[in-house]
Copies of this chain bind each other. A is one copy, B any other.
Amino acid sequence: MVTPGSGGEPREGSAVPERMPTIRDVALLAGVATSTVSRALSKPERVNRHTRERIEAAAAQLNYVPSSQAQGLSSGRTNAVAVLVPDITNPFYFDIIRGTQHQLKAAGYTQLLVDTEESSEMELEALHKMRRSADGFILAASRLTDTQLAEVSGIQPVVTINRASASTPTVVIDTPSAVVQALEHLASLGHHRVCYVSGPPTSWSNRARWNVFEEESSKRGLEVHHIGPFTPKTTSGAAAADAAARTGATACIVFNDLLAIGMLQRLRERGIRVPEDMSIVGSDDIFGADFCNPPLTTIASPIEQAGRVAVSMLLSQLNPVPGRSSRQLAVMPTHLTIRASTGPAPA
């Protein structure tokens, strides 16, 4: 229709559906059975070296790539791992994604990335729909209840990140202990009225941080305030900043950097100086925390590493070593990174 040329030459820019070589083609070329090819490629020791080399040559010549689909069908494993994050938008998760991606690739797995949009329903749905296409799941900051989580992890291999639970292997980032550091830091700067700026109520780590905050603050005799919840986005920072200013607190520990950065912007607009009038501590040390204005004092977390560890834990669950039982909990250390958003309490 387009070009009535002789013999249907491939149109430029469109895929030629030329049949891909199969294991059969390789077997034929190498003069062996398909089973031998399969073994030569996956369990090299199961096949004579000479035969194997012939097969490898044939495979190379044909440019053969096994179909992971077919492989999966018969072997029952997909060699893929799904990573579910509440919000792809959030730089925090990007570091996680980067970590998982890296480690998964190294182990020969494919990463299936899913954005659950902070919704436990979507999370469950993905978990359900993908159970056939992934060997395991990594849930970053899962919004699931304990019950749901237990149920899910009874059905398929799961590792959670920043969501402790008895039923599931977990890697948690130890922000609570750094909250203590942050509080000490603020106290030593002379702050007496401190405020916790809360993130999503469904977030386990938010609850964990608040608990420590409250406990430690009162232990130190500080006047404690609590505002929120706020959506953990820079855009919610304005509301958070206003609310924080109203409490009369001179220092805030904020659920995460995103929110903290948003607050910084708003405070600046309102002429509230940071740190002279108010100190701000964020959490996560995401991309941007070092170059915002002022640079943010924050609870630095090895986020990417957390992603990596999560993958390791999942993989050791998928391919268990008979002797050693796989680790159920990894705690990633954190520390306070002090930059310019914290300073002495106003006189």
Interface residues of A (CB under 8 A from B): 2, 10, 12-16, 18, 20, 63, 65-70, 72-73, 78, 88-89, 91, 94, 97-98, 101-102, 105, 110-115, 128-133, 153-157, 166-169, 234, 261, 264-265, 287-288, 291-294, 317, 325, 328
A157 to B58, alpha carbons, bound, how many Å?
27
Contact B128 A65 (CB under 8 A): yes
Contact B154 A91 (CB under 8 A): no
Known: A12-B167, A94-B91, A287-B287. A101 touches B73 (CB 8 A): no
* 20 more A-B residue pairs beyond the given contacts A65-B131, A293-B294, with a C-beta to C-beta distance below 8 A: A10-B154, A13-B169, A14-B157, A14-B317, A15-B156, A15-B317, A20-B131, A63-B128, A67-B133, A69-B70, A97-B113, A102-B115, A105-B114, A105-B115, A110-B112, A234-B291, A261-B291, A288-B291, A291-B293, A292-B293
Contact A133 B112 (CB under 8 A): no
Q: How many copies of the chain does the oligomer comprise?
A: 2
Contact B292 A16 (CB under 8 A): no
Contact B293 A68 (CB under 8 A): no
B residues near A132, Cβ cutoff 8 Å: 20, 65-69
A2 to B153, alpha carbons, bound, how many Å?
19
Contact B110 A111 (CB under 8 A): no
Contact B65 A69 (CB under 8 A): no
A111 (CB) vs chain B CBs: closest residue:
B113
A325 to B12, alpha carbons, bound, how many Å?
13
A104 (CB) vs chain B CBs: closest residue:
B113
A78 to B110, alpha carbons, bound, how many Å?
14
Contact A68 B133 (CB under 8 A): yes
**Between-chain CB contacts (< 8 Å), 22 pairs:** A13-B169, A14-B157, A15-B157, A20-B132, A65-B128, A65-B129, A65-B132, A68-B133, A70-B73, A88-B94, A89-B94, A89-B98, A91-B287, A94-B94, A102-B115, A110-B130, A111-B113, A112-B112, A234-B291, A291-B293, A292-B292, A292-B293
Contact B154 A16 (CB under 8 A): yes
B residues near A129, Cβ cutoff 8 Å: 65
